[in-house]
Structure 1
Amino acid sequence: MSTPTLTGQVIGQAHYATRALLERAVAPLGLTFGQVLALNVLADGAVERTRIAHRITSTLKIDKSAVHEVIAGLLDAGLARLDESDAEDPRVRLTDTGHATQRRVSAAVADITARLYGDIPADEASTVARVLTLVTQRANADLAATSA
């Protein structure tokens, strides 16, 4: 078998296959991929709504209105609540149910990660991580340059 060439297609196929596994794992929880990301952002405590929007828009490359729908979905499902103490930029925090759900998501991610990456030698995994981080930085720089 020949060694594949590193291309966007190869990276994309790995991303979409992994994402499909995650989406299948969280489907019984009624979560979207965006909501999974938001739960992870909120796992360590309350976060300003604008900061959540920035994190998710920069990760998923979606607009802020889509992120506000993600947050609204978490609020409607009782997984998060608003801290109205700062009405200008309210903080969003997980409810007890949200924390329990986020722990289930983390367990699913850990299981998928162990199955997919567990037997890859550490030096190879480190190299891939460095390369993909560099590709992501370059793509983000190109996106920033072309949107300005």
Structure 2
Amino acid sequence: MSTTPTLTGQAIGQAHYATRALLERAVAPLGVSFGQVLALNVLAAGPVEPAHLVRRITSTLKVDEPAVHEVIASLVDADLAHLDEASVRLTDTGRATQARIADAAAGITTRLYGDIPADEASAAARVLTLITQRANAELAATPA
């Protein structure tokens, strides 16, 4: 007997971790971590102030600022990003690496989501966005 799946944090987490595992496997040959992938994706839009990149990654990964500074330093050490007082930007190597990451992510997205009807995908996106907003509000309202 089949039951209707229930939307829970566990179901959402399982989908997230399974998808993340596919992405991490796809980018492993590039030698980049998941945190680096996120930072490279932010930087793909153009140079950003270091503080903006830190806020963006801490809010996405729910990690502390020192962890993000380590990610930025590792990108600089690997010649994937350049850091100065005003901005963090991709190097040529970083742009090429990020393009390969984007290609890998696009392939995963097509394989996993490509045949889901648009109305169902849209409804799922709305629900997940709402859950994320609520969780972020609760995190902001309570001390760590």
Amino acid in structure 2 at the alignment position of 1:6: L
Q: Between the two proteins, what is the percent identity of the paired residues?
A: 74
2:71 aligned residue:
70
2:37 aligned residue:
36
Deviations 1:9-63 (A, max 9, x none): 0000000000000000111000000000000110021111100000000000000
Deviations 1:74-116 (A, max 9, x none): 000000112x3xx3xx301100110000000000000000000
- Cα shift at 1:136: 0.3
Runs of 4+ in 1 over 2 A off after TM superposition: none
CA distance in 2, matches of 1:40, 1:147: 29
Matched, 1:115 2:111: yes
2:93 aligned residue:
97
1:129 aligned residue:
125
Amino acid in structure 1 at the alignment position of 2:22: L
CA RMSD of aligned residues (A): 1.0
Partner SS, residue 93 of structure 1: strand
Unaligned stretches of 5+ in structure 1?
none
CA distance in 1, matches of 2:45, 2:119: 30
CA distance in 2, matches of 1:132, 1:68: 28
- Cα shift at 1:133: 0.2
Unaligned stretches of 5+ in structure 2?
none
CA distance in 2, matches of 1:61, 1:54: 10
Aligned residues: 143
- Cα shift at 1:147: 2.3
1:49 aligned residue:
50
CA distance in 2, matches of 1:20, 1:147: 30
Length-normalised TM-score, structure 2: 0.97
- Cα shift at 1:126: 0.1
CA distance in 1, matches of 2:139, 2:46: 30
Matched, 1:19 2:20: yes
